[in-house]
Structure 1
Protein backbone atom coordinates (compact mmCIF):
# COMPACT_ATOMS: atom_id res chain seq x y z
CA UNK A 1 0.00 0.00 0.00
CA UNK A 2 1.05 3.57 -0.57
CA UNK A 3 2.60 5.06 2.55
CA UNK A 4 3.44 1.74 4.17
CA UNK A 5 6.03 2.15 6.87
CA UNK A 6 7.74 -1.11 6.04
CA UNK A 7 7.54 -3.00 2.77
CA UNK A 8 8.21 -6.72 2.90
CA UNK A 9 10.57 -6.57 -0.07
CA UNK A 10 12.64 -3.91 1.73
CA UNK A 11 13.09 -6.11 4.77
CA UNK A 12 15.69 -8.80 4.66
CA UNK A 13 16.29 -8.86 8.40
CA UNK A 14 14.65 -7.58 11.53
CA UNK A 15 17.41 -5.02 11.96
CA UNK A 16 15.87 -3.00 9.11
CA UNK A 17 13.17 -1.81 11.48
CA UNK A 18 15.91 0.31 13.05
CA UNK A 19 16.29 2.30 9.83
CA UNK A 20 13.10 4.17 10.73
CA UNK A 21 13.49 6.84 13.41
CA UNK A 22 11.76 5.87 16.64
CA UNK A 23 10.37 9.24 17.62
CA UNK A 24 7.51 9.81 20.04
CA UNK A 25 5.55 6.61 20.46
CA UNK A 26 6.06 5.48 16.83
CA UNK A 27 6.83 1.78 16.61
CA UNK A 28 7.38 1.45 20.35
CA UNK A 29 4.34 -0.64 21.22
CA UNK A 30 5.14 -3.32 18.68
CA UNK A 31 8.77 -3.40 19.86
CA UNK A 32 7.75 -3.82 23.47
CA UNK A 33 5.19 -6.52 22.71
CA UNK A 34 7.11 -8.52 20.11
CA UNK A 35 10.40 -8.11 21.97
CA UNK A 36 8.93 -9.90 24.98
CA UNK A 37 7.07 -12.66 23.14
CA UNK A 38 8.69 -15.82 21.86
CA UNK A 39 8.73 -16.78 18.18
CA UNK A 40 5.99 -19.32 18.88
CA UNK A 41 3.89 -16.63 20.56
CA UNK A 42 4.28 -14.33 17.55
CA UNK A 43 3.35 -17.17 15.20
CA UNK A 44 0.21 -17.75 17.27
CA UNK A 45 -0.72 -14.04 16.93
CA UNK A 46 -0.23 -14.15 13.17
CA UNK A 47 -2.11 -17.44 12.78
CA UNK A 48 -5.10 -16.33 14.87
CA UNK A 49 -5.35 -12.73 13.72
CA UNK A 50 -7.07 -11.55 10.57
CA UNK A 51 -5.85 -9.02 8.04
CA UNK A 52 -8.41 -6.25 7.62
CA UNK A 53 -8.34 -3.42 5.09
CA UNK A 54 -9.48 -0.12 6.57
CA UNK A 55 -10.78 2.71 4.39
CA UNK A 56 -9.97 6.35 5.05
CA UNK A 57 -12.51 7.77 7.50
CA UNK A 58 -13.36 4.38 9.05
CA UNK A 59 -13.65 4.45 12.83
CA UNK A 60 -11.65 1.53 14.15
CA UNK A 61 -12.31 2.19 17.85
CA UNK A 62 -15.10 4.30 19.35
CA UNK A 63 -14.63 6.02 22.67
CA UNK A 64 -16.91 4.48 25.32
CA UNK A 65 -17.97 1.46 23.23
CA UNK A 66 -16.70 -2.02 24.15
CA UNK A 67 -13.78 -3.19 22.04
CA UNK A 68 -13.90 -6.64 20.46
CA UNK A 69 -10.37 -6.73 19.01
CA UNK A 70 -6.78 -5.82 19.66
CA UNK A 71 -5.30 -4.19 16.54
CA UNK A 72 -1.75 -4.14 15.19
CA UNK A 73 -1.43 -1.39 12.56
CA UNK A 74 0.37 -2.78 9.52
CA UNK A 75 -0.17 0.19 7.20
CA UNK A 76 -1.81 3.60 7.17
CA UNK A 77 -2.16 6.56 9.48
CA UNK A 78 -4.75 6.82 12.25
CA UNK A 79 -5.89 9.61 14.54
CA UNK A 80 -6.47 9.10 18.26
CA UNK A 81 -8.94 11.63 19.63
CA UNK A 82 -11.25 12.21 22.58
CA UNK A 83 -14.67 13.84 22.63
CA UNK A 84 -14.30 17.46 23.64
CA UNK A 85 -10.51 17.25 23.62
CA UNK A 86 -9.62 16.79 19.98
CA UNK A 87 -6.61 14.96 18.59
CA UNK A 88 -4.32 13.28 21.08
CA UNK A 89 -1.98 11.53 18.68
CA UNK A 90 -1.30 10.24 15.21
CA UNK A 91 -0.35 6.58 15.03
CA UNK A 92 0.76 4.33 12.22
CA UNK A 93 2.59 1.19 11.26
CA UNK A 94 3.76 -0.78 14.27
CA UNK A 95 1.34 0.68 16.75
CA UNK A 96 -1.03 -1.48 18.76
CA UNK A 97 -4.54 -0.23 19.45
CA UNK A 98 -6.73 -1.47 22.30
CA UNK A 99 -4.13 -2.81 24.72
CA UNK A 100 -5.50 -0.87 27.69
CA UNK A 101 -9.05 -2.15 27.15
CA UNK A 102 -7.56 -5.63 26.77
CA UNK A 103 -5.99 -5.30 30.20
CA UNK A 104 -8.78 -3.67 32.20
CA UNK A 105 -11.83 -4.83 30.24
CA UNK A 106 -13.27 -1.33 30.14
CA UNK A 107 -14.38 0.57 27.03
CA UNK A 108 -11.75 2.67 25.25
CA UNK A 109 -11.15 6.22 26.44
CA UNK A 110 -10.44 7.49 22.91
CA UNK A 111 -11.65 7.11 19.34
CA UNK A 112 -9.27 5.85 16.65
CA UNK A 113 -10.11 6.68 13.04
CA UNK A 114 -8.28 6.12 9.75
CA UNK A 115 -6.78 9.22 8.17
CA UNK A 116 -5.75 7.12 5.16
CA UNK A 117 -6.51 3.71 3.76
CA UNK A 118 -4.75 1.16 5.91
CA UNK A 119 -4.34 -2.44 6.97
CA UNK A 120 -4.55 -3.87 10.48
CA UNK A 121 -4.04 -7.27 12.03
CA UNK A 122 -7.16 -7.77 14.17
CA UNK A 123 -7.04 -10.26 17.01
CA UNK A 124 -10.37 -11.07 18.64
CA UNK A 125 -10.37 -10.17 22.30
CA UNK A 126 -12.13 -13.43 23.30
CA UNK A 127 -9.55 -15.52 21.43
CA UNK A 128 -6.66 -13.63 23.02
CA UNK A 129 -8.22 -13.94 26.47
CA UNK A 130 -8.50 -17.71 26.03
CA UNK A 131 -4.84 -17.89 25.00
CA UNK A 132 -3.81 -15.78 27.99
CA UNK A 133 -5.78 -18.05 30.34
CA UNK A 134 -4.45 -21.28 28.83
CA UNK A 135 -0.79 -20.41 28.24
CA UNK A 136 0.92 -19.05 31.35
CA UNK A 137 4.21 -18.29 29.57
CA UNK A 138 2.45 -16.36 26.80
CA UNK A 139 0.42 -14.45 29.40
CA UNK A 140 3.52 -13.56 31.41
CA UNK A 141 5.30 -12.27 28.30
CA UNK A 142 2.26 -10.37 27.04
CA UNK A 143 1.39 -8.69 30.35
CA UNK A 144 5.04 -7.83 31.05
CA UNK A 145 5.36 -6.19 27.64
CA UNK A 146 2.18 -4.14 28.08
CA UNK A 147 3.18 -3.14 31.62
CA UNK A 148 6.63 -2.09 30.42
CA UNK A 149 5.16 0.01 27.64
CA UNK A 150 2.59 1.65 29.91
CA UNK A 151 5.30 2.44 32.47
CA UNK A 152 7.38 4.12 29.76
CA UNK A 153 4.34 6.09 28.58
CA UNK A 154 3.64 7.22 32.16
CA UNK A 155 7.25 8.36 32.59
CA UNK A 156 7.04 10.30 29.32
CA UNK A 157 3.76 11.91 30.41
CA UNK A 158 5.19 12.95 33.76
CA UNK A 159 8.28 14.34 32.04
CA UNK A 160 6.13 16.35 29.58
CA UNK A 161 3.95 17.71 32.38
CA UNK A 162 7.03 18.63 34.40
CA UNK A 163 8.83 20.32 31.54
CA UNK A 164 5.68 21.65 29.80
CA UNK A 165 7.27 20.53 26.53
CA UNK A 166 6.57 17.50 24.35
CA UNK A 167 9.93 15.73 24.34
CA UNK A 168 10.79 12.29 23.11
CA UNK A 169 11.89 9.82 25.73
CA UNK A 170 14.78 7.54 24.85
CA UNK A 171 14.01 3.85 24.53
CA UNK A 172 14.89 1.78 27.57
CA UNK A 173 18.14 -0.19 27.20
CA UNK A 174 16.42 -3.47 28.09
CA UNK A 175 14.12 -2.95 25.12
CA UNK A 176 17.10 -2.38 22.84
CA UNK A 177 18.42 -5.82 23.78
CA UNK A 178 15.38 -7.37 22.06
CA UNK A 179 14.77 -4.84 19.29
CA UNK A 180 16.35 -7.02 16.59
CA UNK A 181 14.06 -9.89 17.59
CA UNK A 182 11.03 -7.62 17.66
CA UNK A 183 11.93 -6.23 14.24
CA UNK A 184 12.30 -9.69 12.74
CA UNK A 185 9.01 -10.78 14.27
CA UNK A 186 7.16 -7.73 12.97
CA UNK A 187 8.74 -8.37 9.56
CA UNK A 188 7.27 -11.89 9.55
CA UNK A 189 3.82 -10.53 10.42
CA UNK A 190 4.04 -7.92 7.66
CA UNK A 191 5.15 -10.48 5.08
CA UNK A 192 2.40 -12.87 6.10
CA UNK A 193 -0.36 -10.30 5.75
CA UNK A 194 0.77 -8.24 2.78
CA UNK A 195 -1.19 -8.72 -0.36
Structure 2
Protein backbone atom coordinates (compact mmCIF):
# COMPACT_ATOMS: atom_id res chain seq x y z
CA UNK A 1 0.00 0.00 0.00
CA UNK A 2 2.86 2.37 0.83
CA UNK A 3 3.94 2.60 -2.82
CA UNK A 4 0.60 3.84 -4.12
CA UNK A 5 0.67 6.40 -1.33
CA UNK A 6 4.00 7.69 -2.65
CA UNK A 7 2.41 7.96 -6.08
CA UNK A 8 -0.93 9.50 -5.08
CA UNK A 9 0.72 11.77 -2.53
CA UNK A 10 2.48 13.75 -5.24
CA UNK A 11 -0.68 14.45 -7.22
CA UNK A 12 -3.18 17.11 -6.23
CA UNK A 13 -6.89 16.54 -5.64
CA UNK A 14 -7.78 17.78 -9.15
CA UNK A 15 -5.35 15.28 -10.69
CA UNK A 16 -6.79 12.40 -8.69
CA UNK A 17 -10.34 13.45 -9.54
CA UNK A 18 -9.37 13.63 -13.22
CA UNK A 19 -7.90 10.12 -12.99
CA UNK A 20 -11.11 8.85 -11.39
CA UNK A 21 -13.21 10.35 -14.18
CA UNK A 22 -10.98 8.99 -16.93
CA UNK A 23 -10.08 5.57 -15.58
CA UNK A 24 -12.12 2.45 -15.07
CA UNK A 25 -12.34 -0.62 -12.86
CA UNK A 26 -11.20 -3.97 -14.15
CA UNK A 27 -12.29 -7.11 -12.27
CA UNK A 28 -10.08 -10.16 -12.77
CA UNK A 29 -10.31 -13.76 -11.61
CA UNK A 30 -7.59 -16.13 -10.41
CA UNK A 31 -5.43 -17.17 -13.35
CA UNK A 32 -6.20 -14.11 -15.48
CA UNK A 33 -3.21 -12.19 -16.80
CA UNK A 34 -3.09 -8.46 -16.34
CA UNK A 35 0.21 -8.20 -18.21
CA UNK A 36 1.90 -10.65 -20.56
CA UNK A 37 5.68 -10.62 -20.85
CA UNK A 38 6.74 -9.11 -24.18
CA UNK A 39 3.27 -7.79 -25.09
CA UNK A 40 2.80 -4.03 -25.14
CA UNK A 41 0.40 -2.57 -22.59
CA UNK A 42 -1.63 0.58 -23.05
CA UNK A 43 -2.57 1.43 -19.46
CA UNK A 44 -1.26 2.17 -16.02
CA UNK A 45 -2.83 0.14 -13.20
CA UNK A 46 -3.38 0.48 -9.46
CA UNK A 47 -4.40 -2.65 -7.54
CA UNK A 48 -7.54 -1.89 -5.53
CA UNK A 49 -7.94 -5.34 -3.98
CA UNK A 50 -6.80 -8.90 -4.44
CA UNK A 51 -3.39 -10.34 -5.17
CA UNK A 52 -1.19 -10.65 -8.23
CA UNK A 53 2.11 -12.37 -8.91
CA UNK A 54 4.99 -10.96 -10.94
CA UNK A 55 6.58 -13.77 -12.97
CA UNK A 56 9.72 -13.58 -15.07
CA UNK A 57 8.83 -16.76 -16.97
CA UNK A 58 5.61 -18.09 -18.43
CA UNK A 59 5.43 -20.56 -15.53
CA UNK A 60 3.31 -18.98 -12.81
CA UNK A 61 5.00 -21.21 -10.22
CA UNK A 62 8.23 -19.22 -10.57
CA UNK A 63 7.24 -15.76 -9.44
CA UNK A 64 9.54 -13.04 -8.18
CA UNK A 65 7.07 -10.82 -6.30
CA UNK A 66 3.55 -10.62 -4.96
CA UNK A 67 1.46 -7.48 -5.38
CA UNK A 68 -1.51 -6.43 -3.30
CA UNK A 69 -3.80 -3.46 -2.77
CA UNK A 70 -2.14 -0.14 -3.45
CA UNK A 71 0.52 -1.36 -5.84
CA UNK A 72 1.10 0.50 -9.10
CA UNK A 73 1.62 -1.79 -12.10
CA UNK A 74 2.76 -1.08 -15.65
CA UNK A 75 4.75 2.02 -14.71
CA UNK A 76 8.00 0.88 -16.34
CA UNK A 77 6.34 0.23 -19.69
CA UNK A 78 4.53 3.54 -19.34
CA UNK A 79 7.83 5.40 -18.92
CA UNK A 80 9.83 3.51 -21.51
CA UNK A 81 7.15 2.64 -24.08
CA UNK A 82 8.66 -0.86 -24.16
CA UNK A 83 6.92 -4.18 -23.69
CA UNK A 84 7.07 -5.52 -20.13
CA UNK A 85 9.85 -7.91 -19.15
CA UNK A 86 7.56 -9.83 -16.78
CA UNK A 87 4.02 -11.19 -16.68
CA UNK A 88 1.55 -10.21 -13.98
CA UNK A 89 -0.89 -12.98 -13.09
CA UNK A 90 -3.90 -12.80 -10.79
CA UNK A 91 -3.52 -15.19 -7.83
CA UNK A 92 -6.67 -14.06 -5.96
CA UNK A 93 -9.72 -12.34 -7.46
CA UNK A 94 -8.71 -8.70 -7.93
CA UNK A 95 -10.11 -5.30 -8.74
CA UNK A 96 -7.77 -3.03 -10.66
CA UNK A 97 -8.02 0.67 -11.50
CA UNK A 98 -6.80 1.28 -15.03
CA UNK A 99 -6.20 4.46 -16.95
CA UNK A 100 -5.00 4.52 -20.53
CA UNK A 101 -1.65 5.85 -21.64
CA UNK A 102 -3.41 7.90 -24.32
CA UNK A 103 -5.57 9.74 -21.77
CA UNK A 104 -2.62 10.40 -19.47
CA UNK A 105 -0.48 11.61 -22.38
CA UNK A 106 -3.24 13.91 -23.64
CA UNK A 107 -3.60 15.48 -20.18
CA UNK A 108 0.16 15.96 -19.97
CA UNK A 109 0.08 17.94 -23.21
CA UNK A 110 -2.41 20.42 -21.78
CA UNK A 111 -1.40 20.49 -18.10
CA UNK A 112 2.28 20.98 -17.28
CA UNK A 113 1.64 20.76 -13.51
CA UNK A 114 0.02 17.34 -13.91
CA UNK A 115 2.92 16.19 -16.08
CA UNK A 116 5.52 17.30 -13.53
CA UNK A 117 3.61 15.83 -10.58
CA UNK A 118 2.92 12.56 -12.41
CA UNK A 119 6.55 11.98 -13.39
CA UNK A 120 7.80 12.98 -9.94
CA UNK A 121 5.30 10.56 -8.40
CA UNK A 122 6.54 7.75 -10.66
CA UNK A 123 10.15 8.58 -9.82
CA UNK A 124 9.46 8.36 -6.07
CA UNK A 125 7.54 5.14 -6.54
CA UNK A 126 10.32 3.52 -8.58
CA UNK A 127 13.00 4.75 -6.17
CA UNK A 128 11.15 3.15 -3.27
CA UNK A 129 10.76 -0.11 -5.19
CA UNK A 130 14.47 -0.16 -6.08
CA UNK A 131 15.46 0.45 -2.44
CA UNK A 132 13.23 -2.42 -1.32
CA UNK A 133 14.73 -4.72 -3.95
CA UNK A 134 18.25 -3.70 -2.94
CA UNK A 135 17.39 -4.43 0.70
CA UNK A 136 15.96 -7.84 -0.22
CA UNK A 137 19.18 -8.68 -2.04
CA UNK A 138 21.11 -7.88 1.15
CA UNK A 139 22.80 -4.71 -0.09
CA UNK A 140 20.60 -2.09 1.56
CA UNK A 141 20.70 -0.50 4.96
CA UNK A 142 17.86 -1.98 7.08
CA UNK A 143 17.94 1.01 9.45
CA UNK A 144 16.96 3.29 6.56
CA UNK A 145 14.19 1.07 5.15
CA UNK A 146 11.31 3.14 6.50
CA UNK A 147 12.99 6.54 6.30
CA UNK A 148 11.05 8.97 4.15
CA UNK A 149 11.84 12.60 3.29
CA UNK A 150 9.57 15.02 5.17
CA UNK A 151 8.24 16.60 1.96
CA UNK A 152 7.18 13.19 0.72
CA UNK A 153 5.54 12.38 4.05
CA UNK A 154 3.27 15.43 3.73
CA UNK A 155 1.89 14.04 0.47
CA UNK A 156 1.59 10.51 1.85
CA UNK A 157 -0.75 11.73 4.57
CA UNK A 158 -3.17 13.05 1.93
CA UNK A 159 -2.65 10.01 -0.29
CA UNK A 160 -4.38 7.67 2.13
CA UNK A 161 -7.61 9.59 1.76
CA UNK A 162 -7.14 9.71 -2.03
CA UNK A 163 -6.70 5.93 -2.22
CA UNK A 164 -9.81 5.51 -0.06
CA UNK A 165 -11.67 7.80 -2.47
CA UNK A 166 -10.62 5.63 -5.41
CA UNK A 167 -11.72 2.48 -3.56
CA UNK A 168 -15.06 4.06 -2.65
CA UNK A 169 -15.72 5.32 -6.18
CA UNK A 170 -15.10 1.96 -7.77
CA UNK A 171 -16.89 -0.09 -5.14
CA UNK A 172 -20.06 1.63 -6.40
CA UNK A 173 -19.44 0.63 -10.03
* Residue correspondence of structure 1 range 155-170 to structure 2 within 5 A: 155-163=131-139, 169-170=145-146
Q: Which residue in 2 is equivalent to 1:67?
A: 41
Residue pairs, 1:28-47, within 5 angstroms: 28-47=2-21
- Does 62-71 or 81-90 show the bigger shift? 81-90
Which structure 1 residue ranges, 5 or more long, are not aligned? 1-26
- Show structure 2 runs of 5+ residues with no match: none
With structure 2 as the length reference, what TM-score do the two structures score? 0.89
Q: Contact 2:134 / 2:140 at 8 angstroms: preserved in 1? A: no
| Worse overlay, 69-78 or 162-171 | 162-171
22, 28, 36: which one pairs with 1:48?
22
Distance 1:81 1:57 in 2: 12
Query: Residue deviations 1:36-82, cap 9 Å, x none?
Result: 00000000011100111111110000111100111111111000110
**1:162 Cα deviation from its structure 2 partner:** 4.4
Q: What per-residue deviation string (whole Å, max 9, x for no partner) do you get for residues 79-124 of structure 1?
A: 0110179211111111111011111111111110111111111111
Other structure's SS at 1:65 match: coil
Distance (whole Å) between structure 2 residues aligned to residue 42 and residue 70 of structure 1: 14
TM-score, normalised with respect to structure 1: 0.79
Q: Do residues 184 (structure 1) and 150 (structure 2) align?
A: no
Distance 1:167 1:109 in 2: 31
Matches within 5 A, 1:95-106: 95-106=71-82
Task: Report SS of the residue matched to 1:116.
Answer: strand
Give the 3 Å change call, closer, same or farther, for CA 167–99 of structure 1 in structure 2: farther
Residues 156, 168 of structure 1: 8 Å contact kept: no
Alpha-carbon distance between aligned partners in 2 of 1:56 and 1:168, rounded to the nearest angstrom: 36
**Partner of 1:140 in structure 2?**
116
**Bigger shift: residues 126-135 or 111-120:** 126-135
**How far off is 1:160 after superposition?**
3.7
- Native 8 Å contact 1:160 1:166 kept in 2: no
CA contact (8 A) 2:7 2:124 kept: no
Distance 1:50 1:78 in 2: 18
Match of 1:13 in 2: none
Report the RMSD for the aligned CA atoms in angstroms.
2.3
Aligned mates of 2:95, 2:54 — CA distance in 1: 16
